[in-house]
A and B are shown apart, each in its own frame.
Chain A
Amino acid sequence: EAGVTQSPTHLIKTRGQQATLRCSPISGHTSVYWYQQALGLGLQFLLWYDEGEERNRGNFPPRFSGRQFPNYSSELNVNALELEDSALYLCASSLSVGGWDNEQFFGPGTRLTVL
Chain B
Amino acid sequence: DQQVKQNSPSLSVQEGRISILNCDYTNSMFDYFLWYKKYPAEGPTFLISISSIKDKNEDGRFTVFLNKSAKHLSLHIVPSQPGDSAVYFCAASGSTGSGNTGKLIFGQGTTLQVKP
A4–B44 Cα distance when bound, in Å, is 11
Please state if B89 and A31 are interface contacts (CB–CB under 8 Å). no
Please state if A103 and B109 are interface contacts (CB–CB under 8 Å). no
How many whole Å from A87's CB to the nearest CB in chain B?
13
Please state if A90 and B44 are interface contacts (CB–CB under 8 Å). yes
Please state if B93 and A55 are interface contacts (CB–CB under 8 Å). no
Which of chain B's residues have a CB closer than 8 A to the CB of A48? 101-103
Please state if A99 and B100 are interface contacts (CB–CB under 8 Å). yes
Q: Which of B41, B89, B103 contacts A56 (CB 8 A)?
A: B103
Which of chain A's residues have a CB closer than 8 A to the CB of B26? none
Which of chain B's residues have a CB closer than 8 A to the CB of A44? 106
Q: Which of A4, A42, A98, A100 contacts B43 (CB 8 A)?
A: A4
Please state if B108 and A106 are interface contacts (CB–CB under 8 Å). no
Q: Which of B43, B51, B99, B108 contacts A101 (CB 8 A)?
A: B51
Please state if A100 and B95 are interface contacts (CB–CB under 8 Å). yes
Which of chain A's residues have a CB closer than 8 A to the CB of B45? 106
A25 contacts chain B at the CB level, 8 A cutoff: no
Please state if B46 and A97 are interface contacts (CB–CB under 8 Å). no
| Complex: chain A residue closest to B42, CB-CB | A108
Please state if B51 and A100 are interface contacts (CB–CB under 8 Å). yes
Q: Using known A-B contacts A42-B108, A45-B105, A103-B49, determine if residue A97 contacts B44 with beta carbons closer than 8 Å.
A: no
Within 8 A of B (CB), among A22-59: 31, 33, 35, 41-45, 48, 50, 55-56, 58
For the complex of A and B, 9 pairs with smallest distance between CB atoms: A106-B43, A48-B102, A102-B93, A43-B106, A45-B103, A42-B108, A42-B106, A106-B44, A56-B102
